[in-house]
Chains A and B, each alone.
Chain A
């Protein structure tokens, strides 16, 4: 029941498109950072978006200006989750890339902040690939191979 390798790019493109669409939909409610009291918005450099942002970055996905004016330090997981519910994120990447049981949004590790993988305006990096060999979404790069053993998830669980 494995997905053929040829379908992966199409699938990933589809997911990316869906993500962009979904994230764009939040424009009207998230144009400002939730932490109104943050003193850093004017002091810190806000990332720039639009066509300059690399594909796969948060700025490239938020094309309707949702992140405009939001300081980097305010882009916390709490900020992201205020628009994108945990359940929706987890569900959207179930069996990601056609690998049964693989879900980068349900890492068995402490994945930390969203921005650990999702770059705001730079290169997004798939942290899973430090130990695994999963295909990256468009515009992403795999994390450098770590010192721990490699586990090929495509050899793991099958449905």
Chain B
């Protein structure tokens, strides 16, 4: 990372530094005259096909859209095209990337590094926030550490078991096969900036219970620890308290290789020529002027997910309305998906979301104000030895589902996406020490943390199970039946209902009893515009729309209605790889093809 002059900025020279910075401001005062709008170009083709029904047919002169009257949601209707005389500037380039987030940035790096004339539009005032990791398989780095994954095993498990035979199976092979080269390339690029990559599986540190090498892990869900962390040269990373601002590094790398970023400049809609090929977008810049971008080789949509548009999100998955903790990017309102839909692209029919299973929640339904973004689980509340029941008191699943897997039944099998976690005072002596981490990314699993949360009203302590039942508002009959059945199964030594591993079947018999309510937390929706194995967006007939590509959470054809919670880092991992592949496809560069 470049050394930023923060030190001098903060010392006695601070004001001088700021004044110097504002020299540019003062100089700017001499150019107050508004730039005269450029003469609009003679349109080569109709501005846009603004009707959804038109599908991928060659664009006819665009009729003004009328408000939806057939029951379709309003967001399915395209905006009116901007009059030509209001478009003040046209930029011609080869590649246009819409969205400077975790999927668009590697694409920008690739395009710029290859010498393409690439522009990047971003709705926000800066690049996307650096999230947890990237991910991949059998890269040189992973292989050098003895970390290899079997292709068939991975593809079959991910598609057949965790994704519910949804999604497109060939996508997993495409990612698996190309991720090694992507990670190799990324590692080399970051090395030039003074950073390194570290496979999570090579570390003792775990973000949460992934079940790998841990006592009593579920045999049903085989977890693939594919996360790869961005690290400093000395090996420090977020797990050691020194995270890398890796999206900034990506933006710097792209810029240094010639990419041009336009912030606070949302793309409004796609434009196509008479043949139906996508030629670019109309956008609105920070001055609120309309501008046109033409891209001769293609437009890549990487605008992120749709979680910030709840109407749209719930249209594709009503269960997501149950989520309480939306740890999302408020920019991500499905812009790319909508732009695609407006020109007749096909959406996935069902979407899922990246969910974290055990987010702490107070009795009033609000998030605790004393926890921050990382430690967001209540201590001990996520441990597999607990009894977990929904808000009626009904047990819904094996509590030892690893990583994020419990979020699936939690969302789909409960009325409100909530569960209560219940444990007793002897938990520390009953739970296998090699079955959980005391300190991880999400919480501290200690009695001290439990006691602290009791004081804060996040966790509750009762001398009798009846008092606990009353406090939680359970249906007494439902809960006591679940509680007694659970204890009977613990005595039996086998969980005949959900087959939780016997080491975690720990009878609740040592008062006082503890309980803490947990809600579902999501980072983003997963599902979007259907695409083929070349990252080309498909129309409703299943054929590619020329010139239009998608990657990351804007793209579909990967997940079904269940997020694979056993493939750690799948969202960013395949999103980045596919954005990178989209650019290679546009530029005619080699990569490993799938299913063709």
Contacts and interface: CB of A to CB of B under 8 A. Distances in A.
B29 interface: yes
Contacts of A106: 125-126, 263
Chain B interface, DSSP helix/strand/loop, else mixed: loop
Interface in A99-141: 100-101, 103, 105-111
Interface stretch (B7-15, B201-209, B433-441, B509-517): B7-15
Contact of A77 (B23, B128, B288, B329): B288
Contacts of B243: 156-158
B166 interface: no
Chain A contact surface mostly: loop
Contact of A145 (B23, B126, B244, B369): B369
A1 B242 CA distance: 11
Contacts of B22: 18-19, 21-22, 25, 88, 92
Interface residues of B, number: 62
Interface in B286-319: 286-289
Interface string A77-113: 1100111111111011011001011010111111100
Nearest to B2: A159
Nearest to A91: B21
Contacts of B327: 148-149
Nearest to A32: B32
B91 interface: no
Name the residue among B124, B328, B371 with the largest chain A CB count within 10 angstroms: B124
Nearest to B24: A88
A3 B11 CA distance: 10
B21 A82 contact: no
B12 to A, nearest CB: 9
Contact of B330 (A21, A76, A109): A109
Interface in B352-372: 366-367, 369, 371-372
A29 B330 CA distance: 37
A17 B330 CA distance: 33
A107 B126 contact: yes
B18 A14 contact: yes
Interface in A1-45: 1, 3, 7, 11, 14-15, 17-19, 21-23, 25-26, 28-30, 34
Contacts of A111: 124-125, 264
Given A14-B15, A85-B24, A92-B22, A108 B128 contact: yes
B126 A110 contact: no
A150 B375 CA distance: 11
Contacts of A151: 372-373
B6 A100 contact: yes
Contact of B14 (A14, A29, A30): A14
Nearest to B22: A22
A103 B242 CA distance: 19
B481 interface: no
Interface string B243-283: 11100100000000000000110100000000000000000
Contacts of B15: 14-15, 17-18
Contacts of A82: 31-32, 34
B145 interface: no
A1 B366 CA distance: 34
A28 to B, nearest CB: 8
B26 A26 contact: yes
Contacts of B264: 110-111
Nearest to A97: B10
Nearest to B129: A108
B125 A92 contact: no
A114 B213 CA distance: 52
Contacts of A110: 123-125, 264, 266, 330-331
Contacts of B287: 77-78, 81
B30 A29 contact: yes
A19 B521 CA distance: 40
A147 B1 contact: no
A152 B372 contact: yes
B378 to A, nearest CB: 14
Point out which of B126, B130, B243, B328 has the most chain A C-beta atoms below 10 A from its C-beta: B126
B18 A92 contact: yes
Nearest to B9: A95
Most chain A C-beta atoms within 10 Å of own C-beta, residue among B3, B128, B129, B244: B129
B43 interface: no
B32 A22 contact: no
7 contacts: A11-B14, A14-B14, A19-B22, A25-B26, A85-B24, A98-B6, A157-B243
6 nearest CB pairs, A to B: A22-B22, A18-B18, A88-B24, A85-B28, A151-B373, A106-B126
Interface of B: 1, 3-4, 6-7, 9-10, 14-15, 18-19, 21-34, 123-130, 241-245, 248, 263-264, 266, 286-289, 325-331, 366-367, 369, 371-374, 376, 521
Given A3-B10, A107-B126, A158-B241, 17 more contacts: A18-B21, A85-B24, A88-B24, A95-B6, A106-B126, A108-B124, A108-B329, A109-B329, A109-B330, A109-B331, A110-B125, A111-B125, A111-B264, A147-B366, A157-B130, A157-B243, A157-B244
